[in-house]
Every structure is written in C-alpha cells, then in structure tokens.
C-alpha cells in the first residue's frame, strides 16, 4: 500500500507546473542588469500599471518555458504593479503587466494575466512562450449579468489575438481543468537595486 502511495505522489509531482529559478549573479542577472534602461523604459510606457512612474522594488529570474534562458519578473510591492519580460533573440520584450486588479498566473510554458474590471467583466490575456519569446497570444472575456428572471448569466468570448478569432485554440488554452498557479507566490525575490547594480 505504501509503495502505491509513493508512486502516485511521484507521478503527481512530475506533472505539476514547474519553473526553474535563477541564482543571483548568473548570466541572466547580468544581461538584464546591463539592459536595465531598456527594461525601465518599457515599464514606464505601460498603460496597464496603476503607477508607471514608480519603479519596481524587487525582481525574480525564472525559466518559464524551460529553454535555459530566464525571464525577468518585476514587482512593486507598494502598489501591486508587476511586469514580466523575456529576452529571446537578445532583445528585451514585455510579456504582460499586472496591477492591483489583475494577477499573473502560469502553467508550464503558459502565462495568463487577468482580473475583474469592475463592470461585471473579467478579462484574461494568455501567452504561450517558446525559446524566450511569445509564441501565441489569446484572450478571454467573461461578462456577468442577470437575465429577465433575475438569474445570473455568464457569456464567454474567446480569441486568438495574433491571427483572428480562432476560438477553439483559445478555449484549449484557457481550459477549465488547468491548475493555474499565481506566479508571485512561486518565485524567489531579490531587491531591485541589486539588479541595477549588476550591470
């Protein structure tokens, strides 16, 4: 009986979403530190953040898609703003941003960011990473309302953002059986000033 339980636990752990962490002082830290002006410029141009003039307070390095190149995750704990960046092709690009109304989730090489907009609508953007670049982009909007009988109803709108409304692919991406994990709770954080000093 004990052997069966051990095997089941090992199988369960094998298929959990996982990310690998960057150590302080590694090549990714030096790369992002060297290009910190570009990172801060992208951060400052975001129209998602609640305060894009306030710089991050901490950072994490994580390899989300398992290609050996780490993505950069920034957060400002004072206002809940955050941003995720990748470096495929040695060019820094933003993947997505979060603020106090939204959260970044991950599962395998998938990233999802979304939350309530305060109008009965919840919006999600989804990103599939490959080779430290965004391979696919998807969106899901959920509209909550009440019908004539006063019963709550939900309408869902799926879209593949790059090439039109490929609803099937978007539904597969946002499948309800996926156990999305909150990214900020699964990473090792370091002080942002340490990243700036590593260039």
Q: Which residues contact 73 (CB under 8 A, 6 or more apart)?
A: 59, 60, 61, 62, 82, 83, 84, 85, 104, 183, 184, 187
Side-chain-side CA neighbours of residue 61 (13 Å): 22
Query: Cα angle at 54 between 136 and 90, to 5 degrees?
Result: 40
pLDDT number for residue 25: 52
Q: For strands 181-182 and 152-160, give the pairing.
A: unpaired
How would residue 151 be classed by pLDDT, with cut points 50, 70 and 90? confident
Q: What is the pLDDT of residues 6-62, one digit of tens each?
A: 444 343 333 344 555 555 558 888 899 999 999 999 999 998 898 888 999 999 999
Q: What is the mean pLDDT of the chain?
A: 83
Predicted pLDDT at 14? 38
Cα 78 to Cα 56, 58, 116: the distances in Å are: 9, 11, 20
pLDDT in tens, 106-146: 999 999 999 887 778 889 999 999 999 998 899 998 888 88
Q: What is the pTM of this model?
A: 0.82
Residue range 75-99, pLDDT digits in tens: 998 888 999 999 987 789 999 999 8
pLDDT at position 152, please? Answer: 84
* Res 5 pLDDT > 50: no
pLDDT number for residue 126: 93
Check residues 76 and 196 and name the one with the higher pLDDT: 76
Q: Domain spans of the chain?
A: 18-196
């Amino acid at each position: 009986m004990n052997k069966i339980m051990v095997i089941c636990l090992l199988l369960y752990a094998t298929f959990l979403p996982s990310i690998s962490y960057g150590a302080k002082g590694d090549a990714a830290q030096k790369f992002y530190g060297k290009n910190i002006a570009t990172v801060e410029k992208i951060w400052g141009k975001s129209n998602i953040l609640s305060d894009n003039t306030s710089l991050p307070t901490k950072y994490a390095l994580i390899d989300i898609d398992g290609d050996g190149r780490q993505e950069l995750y920034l957060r400002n704990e004072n206002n809940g703003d955050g941003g995720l960046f990748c470096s495929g092709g040695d060019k820094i690009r933003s993947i997505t941003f979060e603020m106090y109304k939204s959260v970044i989730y991950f599962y395998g090489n998938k990233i999802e960011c979304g939350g309530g907009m305060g109008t009965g609508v919840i919006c999600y953007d989804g990103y599939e990473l490959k080779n430290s670049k965004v391979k696919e982009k998807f969106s899901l909007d959920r509209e909550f309302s009440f019908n004539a009988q006063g019963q709550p109803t939900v309408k869902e709108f799926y879209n593949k953002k790059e090439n039109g409304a490929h609803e099937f692919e978007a539904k597969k991406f946002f499948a309800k059986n996926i156990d999305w994990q909150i990214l900020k709770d699964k990473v090792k954080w370091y002080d942002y000033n340490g990243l700036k000093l590593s260039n």
